[in-house]
Amino acid sequence: MDNKNEFKPYIPAEKVTAELTVTSIIMGVLLAVVFGAANAYLGLRVGMTVSASIPAAVIAMGVIRIIMRRNSILESNIVQTIGSAGESLAAGAIFTLPALFLWAAEEKWNISDPNLLEITLIALIGGLLGVFFMVPLRNALIVKEHATLPYPEGKACAEVLLAGEKGGTSASTVFAGMGFAALFKFIIDGLKVVAGEVSYTIKGFKGTIGTQIYPAVMSVGYICGARISSYMFAGGILSWMVLIPLIVLFGENSILYPGVDQTIGEMFAEGGAGAIWSSYIRYIGAGALAAGGIISLIKSLPLIVTTFTGALKSMSKSGTVSNERTAKDMNMKVVLIAILVLTILIWLIPAIPVNLIGALIIVVFGFFFATVSSRMVGIVGSSNNPVSGMAIATLLIATLILKFTGADGIDGMCSAIAIGSIICIVSAIAGDTSQDLKTGYILGATPKKQQYGELIGVVAAALAIGGTLYLLNEAWGFGGKELAAPQATLMKLIVEGVMGGNMPWALVFTGAAIAVVVELIGIPVLPFAIGIYLPVQLNACIMVGGIVRLALDKLCKKNKEAVVNDGILFSSGMIAGEGLVGIALALLAVFGVDKVIDLSKYVPATVSNLGGIALFAVIILTLLKFTVWKKRVNENE
């Protein structure tokens, strides 16, 4: 029997309720910009982003149901549909586009920063294509395979909205997380009265250990859990407690490329372990990340092939389209015309550094990876979707094609990054769209209205992402301690390597070999590789969040699921809150106001470090207050 006939959505097809309203659009756009900016900041710092669907859903419920006294679950669903598009577009953009800023910062390339129009158009076209490519796949993947493709995030979001419909809401938890994180971030990086990082270097060994003091970073660990956090921390331990001491030990009196004009010993004496990390470890980490992305793609190849062929077969057999409200997609002719027009625009718009061959690569790879991404998130979830592996494969092939067709040098490199950026955004948005459509299918939403919502979210986020990237680059610069931009640095190294640029291949292959060993012993390679690349202090902060999550999992016997979910919501709020204040502080830095509010000169280093540790304890206590202690209070009432 057809799954469509078996399944009955929460809102029947014959019932029409408020959905794509002015309220839902305004709220959704605001959340798309907020979560897009926050995730851009987070991803550039730690190389990971978090899903915005559930936080957006609970905020929508809190505002629409409690404040506005309206009762439409489908209206709340549109809010999260539009809002989550911002997070996905930001994820695709930050994995690639900062490479253009990194090249502009290097004098040898003699180019300027990408202009705002270029970034906006690349993000906009990639996002629109991601939605349009997913439209013809909806019936095949969401409806026909409803029983076989669970779409975990989509289903979880539907459950959250259904729980709100029955009277429960956790919006206050998200807002509390935003408020506390905003306060903590301002104290650490605004007033600078406490240290944002505490480190200790072991004398005679040169190994360095420590932790950052940031609520958003700790929240990443809580959301990811102890297992993933421990893999990242293990990678950091390898880099900062094994590789850096060995490099200093064996090369103390040597000058080794890419370090210049200083021996390794002098470099360590002047800049500590961070200088060694910047000059050598980042290349080892990049090699591990590249190998990890390729390994994840190779492991996914059987699923990719069956996914693509199965989806095409399902599309060809889908038959007539129902006239029911819950089965109405966007007009297919409009979708195909839009794809054609966008392809031509990619080729013809001067602001986008892509020629006709590049435009064709985008269409072919874009539809292929949109199909793959849409189905794979249905099986493994968005968090495990190998978007970076798809981007790496695209970059390798696109760069080779461009090189052999004469588009080499910095122009060819920028073109390759533009192609990779659009493909990366296409994959991320297609996966997000499919999760949202799954939520809508369970709730009984109108697919066409959700697809319009995705387009609105893409436009809003695309208009905001360029300014966000410019602001962050102007304040701190990409590739440094504040904003490591690990994926974008990796993409930059790949393109430079293929085009024949100067590259420390020995370090890159060392990282690749480490990744292979890690994969062979059964450890997930990508989180471990990210741990190698990122500073150990950041990994340690993530590990603390993972330990808190593990403790709650083990100790909370009663209401365990509610406690953990409250923690996820509070952590999501903290990520958003810190990200927004990070953007605000970047704006203050651009105008020089940051120096006016900086009180660090009045606080001794010892007091600052002790204050940082004390504040970290307070951050952990606030998380416990809104999780396990919140439930105990409720139980006692």
State residue 455's pLDDT score.
97
CA 43 to chain centre: 5
Q: What is the pLDDT of residues 177-234, one digit of tens each?
A: 889 999 999 999 999 999 999 999 888 888 999 999 999 889 888 988 899 899 999 9
Within 13 A of 81's CA, how many CA atoms are on the CB side?
Answer: 34
How many whole angstroms separate alpha carbon 144 and alpha carbon 142? Answer: 6
Instruction: Report residue 2's pLDDT band, with 50, 70 and 90 as the boundaries.
Output: very low
454: which DSSP letter? Answer: H
Answer whether 257's CB lies under 8 Å from 83's CB. no
Average pLDDT over residues 116-137: 93
* Listed range (115-119, 195-199, 471-475, 559-563) with the worst mean pLDDT: 559-563
Q: Please give the structure tokens belonging to residue 524.
A: 């997930």
Radius of gyration of the chain from Cα atoms? Answer: 24
Within 13 A of 485's CA, how many CA atoms are on the CB side?
Answer: 27
Q: What is the pLDDT of residues 295-354, one digit of tens each?
A: 876 876 776 677 567 656 655 655 445 678 998 888 888 888 999 999 999 999 999 999
DSSP H or E run through 304: helix 282-316
* Listed range (75-89, 93-107, 122-136, 362-376) with the worst mean pLDDT: 362-376
Closest CA to 70 of 78, 60, 80: 60
Phi/psi at 136 (5° precision)? -70, -10
Nearest-5° Cα angle at 627, 151 to 383: 25
More confidently predicted of 16 and 315 = 16
How many whole angstroms separate alpha carbon 446 and alpha carbon 75? Answer: 11
Assess whether pLDDT exceeds 70 at residue 457: yes
For residue 383, count CB atoms less than 10 angstroms from its CB and return exposed for 0-12, middle for 13-18, buried for 19 or more: middle
Instruction: Report residue 632's pLDDT band, with 50, 70 and 90 as the boundaries.
Output: very low
* Listed range (211-220, 283-292, 465-474) with the worst mean pLDDT: 283-292
Place of tokens 């956090």: 229
State residue 631's pLDDT score.
52
- Helix ranges (H only) for 47-115 are 53-61, 73-94, 98-104
Assess whether pLDDT exceeds 80 at residue 33: yes
Answer whether 98's CB lies under 8 Å from 478's CB. yes
How many whole angstroms separate alpha carbon 606 and alpha carbon 615? Answer: 14
Give 354-407 as a DSSP string. --HHHHHHHHHHHHHHHHHHHHHHHHH-GGG--HHHHHHHHHHHHHHHHHHTT-
Average pLDDT over residues 388-417: 84
Answer whether 60's CB lies under 8 Å from 80's CB. yes
Q: What is the pLDDT of residues 566-599, one digit of tens each?
A: 888 898 888 878 887 888 888 788 788 888 999 9
State residue 316's pLDDT score.
60
For residue 53, count CB atoms less than 10 angstroms from its CB and return exposed for 0-12, middle for 13-18, buried for 19 or more: buried
Instruction: Report residue 433's pLDDT band, with 50, 70 and 90 as the boundaries.
Output: very high
For residue 636, count CB atoms less than 10 angstroms from its CB and return exposed for 0-12, middle for 13-18, buried for 19 or more: exposed
Q: Please give the structure tokens belonging to residue 142.
A: 């969401």
Closest CA to 235 of 529, 485, 542: 529
How many whole angstroms separate alpha carbon 286 and alpha carbon 495? Answer: 12
State residue 154's pLDDT score.
83
Assess whether pLDDT exceeds 90 at residue 368: no
* Cα end-to-end distance, the chain, whole Å: 49
Average pLDDT over residues 368-391: 71
State residue 239's pLDDT score.
95
State residue 98's pLDDT score.
94
State residue 99's pLDDT score.
93
Assess whether pLDDT exceeds 90 at residue 252: no
Phi/psi at 203 (5° precision)? -65, 140
- Please give the mean pLDDT across all residues of the chain: 85
Q: Which residues, 6+ apart, have CB-to-CB distance to 571 below 8 Å?
A: 177, 218, 219, 220, 222, 223, 545, 623
Phi/psi at 621 (5° precision)? -65, -35
> Other CB atoms closer than 10 Å to residue 227's CB: what's the count?
12
How many whole angstroms separate alpha carbon 143 and alpha carbon 569? Answer: 29
Assess whether pLDDT exceeds 70 at residue 622: yes
Assess whether pLDDT exceeds 80 at residue 363: yes
State residue 515's pLDDT score.
93
Assess whether pLDDT exceeds 70 at residue 389: no
How many whole angstroms separate alpha carbon 413 and alpha carbon 410? Answer: 5
SS3 for 171-226 is HHHHHHHHHHHHHHHHHHHHHCCCCCEEEEECCCCCCEEEEECCHHHHHHHHHHCH
Closest CA to 461 of 140, 59, 170, 86: 86
Within 13 A of 176's CA, how many CA atoms are on the CB side?
Answer: 17
Answer whether 421's CB lies under 8 Å from 93's CB. yes
Give 497-549 as a DSSP string. HHHT----HHHHHHHHHHHHHHHHTT--HHHHHHHHHS-HHHHHHHHHHHHHH
Q: What is the pLDDT of residues 87-112, one digit of tens each?
A: 889 888 998 999 999 999 988 888 88
Beta strand extents in 389-457 (DSSP E only)? none
Instruction: Report residue 152's pLDDT band, with 50, 70 and 90 as the boundaries.
Output: confident
Q: Please give the structure tokens belonging to residue 322.
A: 């129902």
Closest CA to 23 of 56, 89, 66, 70: 70
Average pLDDT over residues 278-289: 83
For residue 501, count CB atoms less than 10 angstroms from its CB and return exposed for 0-12, middle for 13-18, buried for 19 or more: middle
State residue 327's pLDDT score.
86
% of the chain exceeding 90 in pLDDT = 42
Assess whether pLDDT exceeds 90 at residue 487: no
Give the bridge partners for 211, in sequence order.
198
How is the chain split into domains, by residue range?
176-287+491-636
Assess whether pLDDT exceeds 60 at residue 5: no
